[in-house]
């Protein structure tokens, strides 16, 4: 009898958890609405949880998640209680909200959802991202985290996360993306992402385009915010024929550093992370070199240059925009053999799919075009019209799961499979692998 009652309680809880997820995902029908009024209204009802912890706010086109996860790992190594908020999730919603590098529990998600639901009474329905941002801040405050590392969703100036009063801002890099929301030029997009810069709060950036640098300099000057730039105020140098790099920073120089994530571009992300540690150490933290080295090495960021098998070699990388696709292409050209490489790829309809395919397809022997289960996914047949100019062996398998297992079952143990084009594609592959144990 006791077992039956316990089982019923568990089932009822699971039903409530699933219903809360359905309600949240249902908010996606309202699309993307940039602005801060709605999120501020929700947070006011929650007693402004965003003001109850210190934070680092990160914007940029690529590398936000890698930098955020590395910083979270370093904070954890140094003994701080740290929250991490990123998007999207790959397999389970809980991945978006982490405390000490562990996703929050189903119970925590349900409680945070109900807390937001109980207080909101605004003029319009919140978007999915507004709702989940409020949930994350509520959960961080409830858990009494010392620090929260928060990644923007889109842009910066009007992003729901821009209600924070951070101790440090990071802008990783800039490329053309989300033009319908952020602008059509590098300068316009930089101005939106630079909107996270706060009065007298230090900014670290890896932007390289002249026009982007000028925009950030102007914003930082108006806000009296110290600006530290990769290549000017701090640098990295990869040690030839070794996996380590040296860092010459703002006030410190560190040798024999090693990034825990694959790809040469991760060294630049690590440089921004190390510069962040330097700036934070001036006033707020007590990171030592061992905290930093160990945290950097132990950084785990699934779905980004993630190796899930050695025989055959299987690499999962979201590569969801042109800059990321080019970095993946560089990695493939340096590490894979063309006649032994299969690419499984699906792309969303707001991405520059022609340029992405042009970067990746010539490096692969075989290509399998697929489609993630999201409304914004591009039809494989549309991808095929362009792909056929860059690859001969092309197959269309709409189901991501079927496409992946077809590739896996049809390659030899010394070949390589790369899954790319969208984090949603990678997420479906990870779910399929999890289901298979």
Q: Pick the closest to residue 395 from 326, 346, 325 (CA basis).
A: 346
**CA gap 158, 182 in Å, rounded:** 10
Please give the chain's pLDDT, 437 residues, in tens: 556 655 555 667 688 888 888 888 888 766 777 789 999 999 999 999 999 999 999 999 989 999 999 999 999 999 999 999 999 899 999 999 999 999 999 999 999 999 999 887 677 889 999 999 999 999 999 999 999 999 999 889 999 999 999 999 999 999 877 666 677 899 999 999 999 999 999 999 999 999 999 999 999 999 999 999 999 999 999 887 677 999 999 999 999 999 988 888 889 999 999 999 999 999 999 999 999 999 999 998 899 989 999 999 999 999 888 999 999 999 999 888 888 999 999 999 888 999 999 999 999 999 999 999 988 899 999 999 999 989 889 999 999 999 999 999 999 999 999 999 999 999 999 999 988 87
**CA gap 196, 158 in Å, rounded:** 9
- Where, residue-wise, is CATH 3.90.190.20 in the chain? 306-435
Helices (H), 395-435: 400-409, 423-435
CATH, domain range 26-297? 3.40.1190.10
Confirm or reject CATH 3.20.20.70 for domain 306-435, answering yes or no: no
DSSP state for residue 177 in the 8-state scheme: -
pTM of the prediction? 0.91
pLDDT for 7: 57
pLDDT for 358: 95
Run of H or E residues at 129? helix 128-142
C-alpha dist (Å) from residue 215 to 148, 186, 226, 342: 27, 9, 14, 41
pLDDT for 203: 98
- Where, residue-wise, is CATH 3.40.1190.10 in the chain? 26-297
pLDDT for 70: 96
The residue with tokens 């949880």 is 49
Helices (runs of H) and strands (runs of E) counted in the chain: 15, 17
> In this structure, how many other beta carbons lie within 10 angstroms of the beta carbon of residue 340?
17
> Quick one: CA dihedral 111, 112, 115, 118, positive or negative?
negative
**CA gap 313, 408 in Å, rounded:** 10
How is residue 35 written in tokens?
């602005």
**CA gap 414, 310 in Å, rounded:** 9
pLDDT for 1: 57
**CA gap 369, 346 in Å, rounded:** 6
> Quick one: CA dihedral 90, 56, 26, 184, positive or negative?
negative
**CA gap 90, 427 in Å, rounded:** 4
Instruction: Name 225's Cβ contacts closer than 8 Å, sequence gap at least 6.
Output: 169, 197, 198, 199, 200, 201, 202, 203, 219
pLDDT for 308: 92
**CA gap 301, 283 in Å, rounded:** 28
DSSP state for residue 418 in the 8-state scheme: E
**CA gap 362, 171 in Å, rounded:** 32
**CA gap 70, 74 in Å, rounded:** 6
**CA gap 35, 158 in Å, rounded:** 5
**CA gap 134, 147 in Å, rounded:** 16
Residue 263 contacts residue 234 (beta carbons within 8 Å) = no
How is residue 99 written in tokens?
């405390």
């Amino acid at each position: 009898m006791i077992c039956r009652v316990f089982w019923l309680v568990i089932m009822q809880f699971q039903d409530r958890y699933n219903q809360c997820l359905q309600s949240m995902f249902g908010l996606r029908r309202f699309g993307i609405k940039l602005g801060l009024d709605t999120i501020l209204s929700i947070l006011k009802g929650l007693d402004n949880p965003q003001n109850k912890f210190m934070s680092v706010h990160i914007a940029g086109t690529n590398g936000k998640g890698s930098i955020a996860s590395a910083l979270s790992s370093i904070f954890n190594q140094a003994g701080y209680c740290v929250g991490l908020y990123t998007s999207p999730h790959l397999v389970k919603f809980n991945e978006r909200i982490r405390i000490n590098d562990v996703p929050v529990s189903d119970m925590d998600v349900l409680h945070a959802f109900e807390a937001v639901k109980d207080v909101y009474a605004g003029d319009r329905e919140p978007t999915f991202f507004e709702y989940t941002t409020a949930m994350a801040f509520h959960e961080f405050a409830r858990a009494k985290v010392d620090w929260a590392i928060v990644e923007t969703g889109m842009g910066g100036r009007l992003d729901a996360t821009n209600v924070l009063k951070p101790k440090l801002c990071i802008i990783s890099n800039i490329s053309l993306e989300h033009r319908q929301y952020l602008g059509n030029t590098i300068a316009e997009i930089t101005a939106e992402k630079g909107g996270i810069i706060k009065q007298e709060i230090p900014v670290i950036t890896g932007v390289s385009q002249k026009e982007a640098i000028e925009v950030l300099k102007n914003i930082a000057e108006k806000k009296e915010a110290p600006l530290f730039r990769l290549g000017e105020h701090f640098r990295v140098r990869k040690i030839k024929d070794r996996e380590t790099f040296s860092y010459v920073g703002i006030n410190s120089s560190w040798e024999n550093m090693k990034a825990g994530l694959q790809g040469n571009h991760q060294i630049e992300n690590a440089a921004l992370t190390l510069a962040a540690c330097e700036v934070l150490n001036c006033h707020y933290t007590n990171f030592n070199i061992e905290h930093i080295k160990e945290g950097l090495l132990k950084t785990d960021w699934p779905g980004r240059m993630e190796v899930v098998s050695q025989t055959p070699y299987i690499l999962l990388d979201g590569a969801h925009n042109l800059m990321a696709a080019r970095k993946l292409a560089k990695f493939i050209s340096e590490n894979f053999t063309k006649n032994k490489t299969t690419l499984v790829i699906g792309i969303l309809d707001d991405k520059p799919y022609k340029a992405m395919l042009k970067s990746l397809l010539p490096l692969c022997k075989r290509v399998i075009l697929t489609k993630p289960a999201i409304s914004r996914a591009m039809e494989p047949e549309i991808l095929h019209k362009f792909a056929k100019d860059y690859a001969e062996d092309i197959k269309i398998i709409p189901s991501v799961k079927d496409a992946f297992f077809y590739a896996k079952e049809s390659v030899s143990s010394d070949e390589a499979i790369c899954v790319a084009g969208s984090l949603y594609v990678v997420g479906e592959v990870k779910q399929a692998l999890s289901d298979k144990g």
